[in-house]
Amino acid sequence: MLWTLLAIVVAGLGAAGVALLLRKLTGNRLPRWLVPLFGGLGMLGYQVVYEYSWFEHQIERQPPESVVVASEAGHVFWRPWSYFMPITTAFTVLDSKSVVRREVGDAPVAEFMLYRFEKQHIDHVSNQAHLLNCQTGELLPLDAQQKPVLEQLKRIDKGGVLFQRVCS
């Protein structure tokens, strides 16, 4: 976050410097208020570019065996530009190396790790083991003792990326 703040300040100073140069090249015929205007627009422009490139930047940092299985985009009232084009604020990644398939009774099941990345003031990453019944499409998160949390049982789409990657 410190580097982002520093980059925003540098972008503002750079844009203000461009406006100052333009004023000097025109013999100070451009108004003085152009310098802080350019500075503010430079800072705002950097922030917008940073927010829209966050998802791609995070994906590039993932190992090759990681597969994005879900993403969430939305808008926030203090980011008015997100109403025109929603920003990706969170995504879930499957660690395909962690998939362990086995038979329980007659049903094929798979155990694997999912990682959730959330864009907040400081990026937040959480991970949780899951169990997927490949026959019924039932997904169960596992607690710290590797026991299923039955209250959070949900069915997933058999045509979805998660089911296809884990069960095929």
pLDDT at 20: 96
Q: Where are the domains of the chain?
A: 1-61, 65-168
For residue 99 the two structure tokens come to 């998939």
Tell me if the pTM is above 0.85: no
**Distance between the two ends of the chain, CA-based, in angstroms?**
40
pLDDT in tens, 85-130: 999 999 999 998 988 988 888 889 999 999 999 998 888 999 999 9
Q: How confident is the prediction along the chain (168 residues), in pLDDT tens digits per residue? A: 788 899 999 999 999 999 999 999 999 999 999 999 999 999 999 999 999 999 999 999 999 999 999 999 988 888 898 999 999 999 999 998 988 988 888 889 999 999 999 998 888 999 999 999 988 888 999 888 888 888 888 998 888 899 999 987
**How far apart, in whole angstroms, are the C-alpha atoms of residue 105 and residue 109?**
10
